[in-house]
Structure 1
Amino acid sequence: MMAIEKPKVIICDPVADIGIEMLKAHCDVDIRPGLSEEALMDAIPAYNAAVVRSATKFPARVIDAAANLKVIGRAGAGLDTIDVARAEEKGIAVVNSPNANSVAVAEHTFALMFALVRHLPRANAGLKEDRWEKKQLMGTGLAGKTLGLVGFGRISRQVASRAQAFGMHVQTTQRRATPEKNAELGVDTVDMKTLFATSDFISLHVPGKPENRNLVSRELISEMKPTAYIINTARGIIMDEKALLDALDNGRIAGAALDVFKEEPALGNPLVAHEKVIVSPHIAASTDDAQQSAAVTIAEQILNILVDSPAENPLNLAVVPLDKVTPHERIDPRRVETLIQKFDASDVFTNPPIVVRSGENYVVLDGATRVSAFKKLGHPHIIVQILKESNNYTLDTWFHAIRKIDPQALLDILGGIPEITITRSDLKTVQADMVEHGGLCYIQTADKTIHHIQPAAGANHLDALNKLTTAYIDASHVTRTLHQDVDTLLAEFPDLAGVVVFPVFTLDQVLQIADAGNAMPAGITRFVIPGRVMRLNADFDFLTSDRDLTEKNDWLYDMVMERLASDSVRYYAEPIYLLDE
């Protein structure tokens, strides 16, 4: 059978990996940033879709060369770098992600505003150069000041809500004014001249269309108060840079903050070096959250145009049959019962278990208690997060701090398990002993005595390990820990009897045990998984209903895409502590 050729996509500018992976699932993707216009014209006939940000331009002559192009995706809001009219004439769709960067740009607008009024760049540089310029750095506040917003779209509304939180009066001007709607948001609507004449801060939020070139003209700048500041995180084309420079040189305005310029990179631009100007290199939209949201939104729109099959869930979430989900470790029944009570009292499903595929089944790496609770409740399906690349996670080991039992009583209980043998060892040699003799683990008691534990002759290694852990879990209180130093643990747990230290297992070992229908002891393996989904808060009634898998997965996909598009998703790269587990 002839293979079906996949659509071809060219990525012209850097975008978040999550969007690229979505496209790769259905298309052949080439990543070719930094192409000149001539090189792009030569390359573009081979592609069905192109993804750009602000660096790569798609003028009419590039579009004319795009013989097979069906869609141009702009990972961001502005379309001023694309000849949209020419693309429409050629039947090429142009899609963008206007909601993706709204919060990021609004936050950067305030970062620039604060830097202006509190002289933060000068304060930082001076102190690092051993200058204490406290008296020279008198700032001004935002509360009670008037913020004028030129344009009142998505970004501008985000700016307005933050300004109101700081106690600022907000006014705006629009080409097509909607004063009634603006008033509902607590924003006054004025004409352009009034806005420039009465605002203490002016922030620009209009697109870089040809009709907006030099919108902020010499005439408008001349209307500004001498104490006023102007901030531009929109497009450089809308500012008359020569008029702004003259106003700054002559002291007619207090200062400016610029993230965008008419010519970029803005090297050698006199505004960049001006003492009354704070600058950044077009980074207002450059946050992890904004870039991921933009990439996902664009990938989804491109896939909707290029392929008939539905796009995969961008966060690798899926609703799967519970009978296909297999824990790799044993479960503490007490924890299952506690979780069932939480499920009964909740309307939402929060944290999906983490799984990997193994044949037709899914092996649970983290979240076995949740899976067991769902099975005991009789639910047919569960939401899981499927890890697809082994390099996306690492496998480590928990140690078990055994508490609330006398150390000798603990050793007596373990000594009565026929499947294991216990020998004295020392900290310097016990690791080597475990490797040489196939040891299960070692226990260091509170008096720092080392006990090496091995399977008895003829005993199954996994059975012995499970008998061992079951015995001390039933007889004591066990806390998982990352520490194996007894002094550190005693400081945290004065009732410590000892700590069990296990060897590090491999993923292959874990999967082999699960595939054979067996399970490891609870709480030994520790999977370190970046990018895990938490606080999904999926409707419990819909998830546990009798709807089929296709309908539930469509519902899950729509829910995730809606949250990504509305900036409701945050990515945290750093480790975290959860205090409500």
Structure 2
Amino acid sequence: MNPGSLNVLIADPVHEDGVALLRQHATVDIRPGLSRSELEQIIGNYDALIVRGTTKVPASVINYGHRLRVIARAGAGLDNIDVSAARVQGVEVVNSPDANTIAVAEHTLALMLALARRLIAADQSMKAGRWEKSQSMGSDLSGRTLGIIGFGRIGRQVAKRAQAFGMRVIVNQPRLTPELALEWGVEQRDLPDLLRESDFVTLHVPMRPETEGLIGANELALMKPTAYLINTARGGVVDEPALLTALEEGRLAGAGLDVFEHEPNVDSALAGHPKVVATPHIGASTEDAQRAAALSVVEQVLAVLRRQRASETLALKIVPLEKVVPHEAFDPRRVADLAARLEEEGRLVNPPVVAEWGDHYVVLDGATRTTALKQLNFPHTIVQVVSPEEDEGVQLHTWYHAISGGEVSSLLKTLQHVPGLKLTAVPVDHIQEAMRARNALAYLLTADNRGFLLEVAPDAEGDWLDVLNATVNCYTGWGRVERTLVTDRDVLRAQYPEMVALVVFPQFTPESVLRIATEGRVMPAGITRFVIPGRVLRLNAPLQRLRADEPLGAKSAWLDHLVQEKLARRRVRYYQEPVVLLDE
């Protein structure tokens, strides 16, 4: 799994050609046999999920998939995926209904032939060393009537092949037009009449509430005692106990079953019945069908992942607030004031800007906003994600601190009481070089033209960051601190006549600042300044929806619609030039 790339989870085995194609464009993890709880724990790391028929994808799994864009079934059915839950969260669901059509149709005819010609019993007798020709008397398909329930892709291909055997085909399909029946050479029947007339009945309907138990005791009672039932659709379409009873009582000649209500099903009395030809759900299990299914869903998955959401064009996303961390200290009073304003106004005007670093989102601008939302117990927030590594326009500058408010001697005496801090006098002309050579925290230039290195004392209990934070907190409490990028003292004296000292810090790198934040620590306030091009402003997102108790995926879908609407009405601003916002 790669946090910076597209990540796809394959939870059931799929053809290797599909996996190879996918790996050209995404990071792929293949993890078959996951339990529901295991899937819930990891699905939040993936943009796409690919399954076949084994792995179930209920609403609970989808709710945890806050990055999930698409769920794919490498096959025809979708009964193992909660499609409604996926739609609520804006997750697309795709499958490959055409890929296995021919394979399932051919398997249906294979089961019909096996039953009609008693092939299984004949084979077993031969393997047992018996020549039982008379007991293997079968019947022709030619001249018989085939009833097809469900005349979709597979049903039509079954009809085509059955007609090649000389069979008459009747079908039961809601809203079957006369033109379609004429095109395929079939006759429409209602279900009771189809069951009465057919010598073979084959099922090709999806598993839905209205098709569950479609063939039960009453329907089986309508069939001829010489008829055969074929099911390559879904096991739940047939009432299995009723079918077993009909077979044992001699009211049905036999059944060909590739699917069962509960799978895997190896100890079933139905599968073991001598009048049943049973296969372990292999209707679509041909090399050609599996390759076609895999390639089909992979192409659809990649198409979805390549398609940018409206929110993604502006690099906006909704993330859990617990994963958002500040990189610098914040003023609790400003946080309290902003929290009160957010409650009153009910909207997030400008989304905070963050960098994704490991498993966290580090705030580059907007620490007061995110901290206020945390204090208000919001579960999620909207952020604008930038990448300091990839976007050359994102720059980190270091502020210097101009200190005013008292006498130089008073300031120096106060700093000497900072735990772990050592002040070393250095000539002003050599102080920059000394700071670099000795890896000092900073240097201080006083109004009376003296210079001091601010270093970590050998006996300091904390590390450099602890001492740096204590130092900044100390002089911030002593006097008034202004942030500046200027080091020329004549210019500074003109701007700040009461300035007694200037603190100059070394230049920090974005990587060091981000690493500190993800360790749960912060830089002192007012040292780092990120300059960020391409700012999204005036989003004015309603906070009520962010506070709502609903899955992250549903909120992400809402954000996408919100951004689409605002872009269409030009109610959101995007500034390509660098913008510096003093936090709200």
Counterpart residue number, 1:85 = 84
1:344-374 CA-partner distances (Å, limit 9, x unpaired): xxxxxxxxxxxxxxxxxxxxxxxxxxxxxxx
**Distance in 1 (alpha carbons) for counterparts of 2:260 and 2:179:** 34
Cα distance in 2 between the residues matched to 1:181 and 1:77: 22
Quote how far apart the aligned CAs of 1:268 are: 1.8
Letter in 2 for 1:155: I
Separation of aligned partners in 2, 1:64 and 1:79: 18
The whole-number CA distance in structure 2 between the counterparts of 1:192 and 1:250 is 23
Pick which of 112-121 and 175-184 moved more: 175-184
Paired position in structure 1 for 2:117? 118
Q: Secondary structure at the match of 2:262?
A: coil
Q: Which amino acid aligns with 1:276?
A: K
The one-letter amino acid paired with 1:123 is A
Provide the C-alpha distance between the structure 1 equivalents of 2:129 and 2:183, rounded to a whole number of angstroms.
50
Aligned twin of 1:239: 238
Residues 86-128 of structure 1 show CA distances to partners (whole Å, capped at 9, x for unaligned) of 1000000000000000000000001111110111111111111
Do 1:26 and 1:307's aligned partners in 2 also have CA atoms closer than 8 Å? no
- Kindly report which structure 2 residues correspond to 1:534-549, keeping only aligned pairs within 5 A, or say none: none
Q: CA 1:134 to 1:84, structure 2 compared with 1: closer, same or farther past 3 Å?
A: same
1:147–1:199 Cα contact (<8 Å) kept: yes
Aligned to 1:29: 28
What are the residue-to-residue correspondences of 1:129-144 with 2, within 5 Å? 129-144=128-143
* Matching residue of 2:195: 196
Structure 1 length normalisation: TM-score? Answer: 0.52
CA distance in 2, matches of 1:289, 1:107: 13
> What is the correspondence of 1:553-564 to structure 2 with a 5 Å cutoff?
none
Cα deviation for residue 209 of structure 1 reads 1.3
Structure 1 position 5, deviation (Å): 2.3
- Equivalent in the alignment of 1:166: 165
Query: 1:229 and 1:179 mapped to 2: Cα distance?
Result: 27
Question: Which residue is 2:149 aligned to?
Answer: 150
| 4+ aligned runs moved over 6 Å, structure 1 | none
1:306 aligns with 2:317: no
| 1:70-90 deviation per Cα after TM superposition (whole angstroms, max 9, x unaligned) | 000110110011010110000
The aligned residue for residue 72 of structure 1 is 71
Partner SS for 1:211: coil
Give me the whole-angstrom Cα distance separating, in 2, the residues matched to 1:182 and 1:290: 27
1:4, CA displacement in angstroms? 9.3
Deviation at 1:65, TM superposition (A): 1.2
Aligned residue number for residue 204 of structure 2: 205
Any conservation in 2 of the 1:112–1:231 contact (CA below 8 Å)? yes
* Structure 1 contact 6–26 (Cα < 8 Å) conserved: no
Separation in 2, partners of 1:196, 1:52:
35
Shift of 1:179: 3.3
C-alpha distance in 1, partners of 2:109/2:282?
13
- More moved, 174-183 vs 153-162: 174-183
- Per the alignment, residue 501 of structure 1 pairs with none
Q: 1:67, 1:211 → 2: CA distance?
A: 32
Residue 273 of structure 1: SS of its match in structure 2? coil
Query: Deviation at 1:67?
Result: 1.1
Contact 1:149/1:203 (<8 A) preserved: yes
- Matched residues in 1 for 2:41 and 2:230: separation? 39
Aligned equivalents of 1:210 and 1:13: distance in 2? 25
Are 1:281 and 2:262 an aligned pair?
no
Structure 1 position 22, deviation (Å): 1.0
Between the two proteins, the alignment pairs up a number of residues equal to 307
Q: Hey, what's the Cα distance between the residues in 2 that align with 1:233 and 1:135? A: 30
1:90 partner amino acid: Q
Segments of structure 1 that go 5 or more residues without pairing to the other structure are 310-581
Letter in 1 for 2:178: P
Alignment partners' CA distance in 2, 1:24 and 1:142: 47
CA distance in 2: counterparts of 1:275 and 1:156, whole angstroms: 27
Separation in structure 1 between the aligned mates of residue 286 and residue 24 of structure 2, nearest angstrom: 25
Distance 2:178 2:158 in 1: 17
Q: Secondary structure at the match of 1:298?
A: helix
Q: Partner residue of 1:227?
A: 226
Q: Which residue of 1 aligns with 2:267?
A: 268
Cα deviation, residue 183, structure 1: 2.0
Tell me, in whole angstroms, the C-alpha distance in 2 between the residues paired with 1:4 and 1:262: 39
Q: Please, which moves more after superposition, 219-228 or 4-13? A: 4-13
- Using structure 2 for the length normalisation, give the TM-score: 0.52
Q: Report the secondary structure of 1:271's partner residue.
A: coil
Q: What amino acid sits opposite 2:90 in the alignment?
A: G
Verify the 8 A CA contact 1:202 1:229 in the aligned structure 2: yes
1:38 aligned residue: 37
Distance 2:267 2:209 in 1: 24
1:95-494 map, 5 Å: 95-307=94-306
* 2:19 equivalent to 1:55: no
Quote how far apart the aligned CAs of 1:308 are.
5.5
Give unpaired runs (5+ residues) of structure 2. 309-584
- Residues 462-509 of structure 1: CA distance to partner in whole angstroms, max 9, x if unpaired? xxxxxxxxxxxxxxxxxxxxxxxxxxxxxxxxxxxxxxxxxxxxxxxx
Q: Which has the larger radius of gyration?
A: 2
